[in-house]
Amino acid sequence: MTTSSSADAPTGASRPAVLITGATRGIGRAVAEELAGDHHLILGGRDRVALEELAAQLPSAEPFVAELTDYEAVARAVAALELPDGLAGLVHSAGILANGNVADSAPGEWTESFEINVVAVAELTRVLLPALRRAHGTVVMINSGSGFNAVPTRGAYSASKFALRALADSLRLEERDNGVRVTSLHPGRVATDMQRQLRAFEGGEYQEEDYMRPATVAATVALALRLPADASIDSLSVRPR
């Protein structure tokens, strides 16, 4: 773990802890950069080297190395965390995009979409619930506009995002009395590698200026996490202007 060198900044021990999945790229990395000034960051991903390099650039951060669908590995990684004050935030940014018509999509594509976009989210949240309850923490599930409106050629992806929204709604009701808040965040198109992948599938040109910046989505994540304890952002749609 690294700590801030500024005398005015809180140390790692006094900073509220937030775990971010998919932390080395896109929205996840932007969230880490947005929160770095006043949080201790637990950076989730599979690439230890990339996570350690990112952690070294931030005032207070540590890597959380795990394949999210390897549930035994996830449990071990969570058990190794030192969270005496609990977990103030859990940001689910990792996910996959599956393109294709229903007629052309094999069962494995549906299974993989739900495994990564829903089941892995539910399991990581489940094993972290004791820490989230101790801190009255906030869970932010980064969803999609496809979690509200299904579109052609992305049936498996849209279905997984609808399911992710249902997971957020159920968890919010279950954990409200425990002081845990749950935000379902639905960005429109964002300038990320996933957007490049989508535009290539659609046969269109990728124009970065047409989409929201990851930092814009990160600002809305920070709003949900920093909101005073007497309120909750249950669901938020953020669209390009």
pLDDT in tens, 96-134: 888 889 999 999 999 999 999 999 999 999 999 999 999
Residue 226 pLDDT more than 60? Answer: yes
Q: What is the mean pLDDT of residues 127-152?
A: 95
The answer to whether residues 40 and 19 touch, using CB atoms and an 8 Å cutoff, is no
Q: How many CB atoms lie within 10 A of CB 208?
A: 10
d(CA 140, CA 184): 6
Could you report the per-residue pLDDT of 193-203, keeping only the tens digit for each? 666 665 555 56
- pLDDT of 196: 61
d(CA 222, CA 206): 27
Strand order in 181-187's β-sheet? 61-65, 40-45, 17-20, 89-92, 138-142, 181-187, 235-238
Angle, in degrees to the nearest 10, between helices 26-35 and 214-226 = 50
d(CA 205, CA 187): 20
The answer to whether residues 160 and 147 touch, using CB atoms and an 8 Å cutoff, is no
Please give the domain boundaries of the chain with CATH numbers for all domains.
17-231 (3.40.50.720)
Mean pLDDT for the chain?
90
Work out the pLDDT band at 240, boundaries 50, 70, 90: confident
CA distances from 75 to 67, 126, 214, 217, 230 (A): 11, 10, 29, 29, 32
